[in-house]
Amino acid sequence: VRPDDVGERFERIYGTGPRLFAQAPGRVNLLGEHVDYNQGLALPCAIQFEAGVALSENTSNRIRLTALDLDSEHTLDAADLESDLDRLRATTPDWALYPVGVGWAWVQAGYDLRGWDAAYTCEVPAGSGLSSSAAIEVAFSSAFGLLLGVDLSGPEIAKLCQDAEHGMAGVRSGLMDQWASSSAIKGHALWMDFRSLEARPIPLPDGVAIVVADSGVRRALTASAYNQRVDECRQAVVQLRDALPSVESLRDVPPSAFVELADRLQPPIRQRAQHVVEEIQRVRDGVASLQAGDKTAFGHLMQASHASLRDLYQVSGPELDALAEIGSSLRGGYGTRLTGAGFGGSTVSLVDVDAVDGFCRELSERYRSATGMQAKIWVCQAGDGATAAFV
Ligand code: ADP
Ligand code: MG
């Protein structure tokens, strides 16, 4: 996103230039899916697509919001952010739920945020599983942080954005997307621990490219299916507590212990829990493979993750399965798996840089002949997280 372009458009709308500009990237997760809300481990990178917001405070106690890409405007009273959440949700157009929700979260957290004007754009393709929503939320949160002079950590920013998603969009998502968007580091995957809230950058091995393929499929009812998985994991914890009273989350169950305990769980709770327990272990193993430069081993973990999301967690679908199967069979491909929540969206592949052009071409062609669908394919660079600066 080019700050000057967004700034100029801001000026045309509001009459003066913006006070500040903030931007935040989308993300792709290499390993560790559906584990953030289980206090697990994940390994995402930021991608080169970003949301950018130009913002100023005003003295009118009004909030004026313009989505440049949608050519849509919405205004509300700053005091509305202190009002009842149901009412706020009912009076906010769908496209504005995330920025208004972030404003609401900051106000609910006690920050003194009055009137402001904002114009924003987002390059992250919407609904592709690359988290355009997190990019927008984190861009706004970074803008508010700079405006108010508060320097929040990545997890703190992510928590406020999560409050916005829970409150306004009704998705009980974890912290991964927003934390990655906030704290990612160029050339690295970010190892994240959702229990201790520590993160560590893990250098990506030389000679590999990250390829993202959007299946073009969007499933309806994603939010309710997602929340159902969150519930199933919680039920697994409750049932496992009879045997292991100290279990607070599935993070507390090592794979070896799970084998002993699995019989206590009914399907599909057992399958959901098995995925989470093993996926957390795959992230541990994946970090070791990356550090050893063992791309082949990492790719196998990605394949195993996809199979588990397909068979045990049941969040894949025929199109994502086709991409994963084709990707794993192509020359130069180390591994391909669905990335993000699933239910449609994208896959991520780790690919030898020397083979990347052919890989993308073949993936596209074979996907089309297998499904009749056209994938969108991007070679991604692992970039830095959010930034904000006064203009
Ligand atoms: P994802 O986060 O996987 O991209 P979501 O459904 O969580 O998918 O978020 C998509 C939503 O984000 C859109 O419905 C819209 O509200 C918002 N959004 C995405 N891109 C833009 C944009 N360019 N301008 C305004 N809002 C956008
Ligand atoms: Mg989202």
pLDDT for 341 equals 94
The first and second tokens of residue 33, run together, are 């899916």
Report, as an integer, the average pLDDT of 271-281: 98
pLDDT in tens, 113-167: 999 999 999 999 999 999 999 999 999 999 999 999 999 999 999 999 999 999 9
- Residue 345 in this model has a pLDDT that exceeds 90: yes
Determine if the pTM surpasses 0.95. yes
252 in active site: no
pLDDT in tens, 186-239: 999 999 999 999 999 999 999 999 999 999 998 877 889 999 999 999 999 999
Alpha carbon nearest to ligand 1 atom 6, residue: 127
The first and second tokens of residue 305, run together, are 């993750």
Report, as an integer, the average pLDDT of 260-277: 96
Query: How high does pLDDT run on average in the chain?
Result: 97
- Residue 291 in this model has a pLDDT that exceeds 80: yes
- Give the count of beta carbons closer than 10 Å to the beta carbon of residue 334: 22
**Is residue 347 a contact partner of residue 339, using CB atoms and an 8 Å limit?**
yes
Dist CA 104 CA 110 (whole Å): 10
Pocket test for ligand 1, best of 133, 221, 227 (most atoms within 8 A of CB): 133
- Catalytic-role residue among 177, 252, 263, 357: 177
β pairing state of 62-67 and 44-57: unpaired
Residue 378 three-state SS: strand
Name residues with Cβ closer than 5 Å to ligand 2, which is an ion.
131, 133
Dist CA 24 CA 387 (whole Å): 7
Is residue 346 lining ligand 1, measured as CB closer than 6 Å?
Answer: no
Atom of ligand 1 nearest to the CA of 123: 23
Dist CA 32 CA 28 (whole Å): 11
pLDDT for 175 equals 98
pLDDT for 222 equals 86
pLDDT for 220 equals 78
Is residue 122 lining ligand 1, measured as CB closer than 6 Å?
Answer: yes
Alpha carbon nearest to ligand 1 atom 19, residue: 126
pLDDT in tens, 318-343: 999 999 999 999 999 999 999 999 99
Report, as an integer, the average pLDDT of 171-181: 96
Report, as an integer, the average pLDDT of 268-279: 98
Is residue 69 lining ligand 1, measured as CB closer than 6 Å?
Answer: yes
Compute CA 163 distance to the chain's CA centroid, rounded to the nearest angstrom: 14
Q: What is the DSSP string of 74-95?
A: EEEEGGGGGS-HHHHHHTS-GG
Q: What separation in Å is there between the alpha carbon of 172 and the centre of ligand 1?
A: 16
Atom of ligand 1 nearest to the CA of 169: 7
pLDDT in tens, 9-57: 999 999 999 999 999 999 999 999 999 999 999 999 999 999 999 999 9
Atom of ligand 1 nearest to the CA of 341: 3
Q: What separation in Å is there between the alpha carbon of 178 and the centre of ligand 2?
A: 9
- Residue 78 in this model has a pLDDT that exceeds 80: yes
- Residue 83 in this model has a pLDDT that exceeds 90: no
- Give the Cα-Cα-Cα angle 32, 101, 113 (nearest 5 degrees): 120
Dist CA 351 CA 327 (whole Å): 9
Residue 382 three-state SS: coil
Is residue 216 lining ligand 1, measured as CB closer than 6 Å?
Answer: no
pLDDT for 20 equals 98
pLDDT for 77 equals 97
Atom of ligand 1 nearest to the CA of 68: 24
The first and second tokens of residue 324, run together, are 């994963």
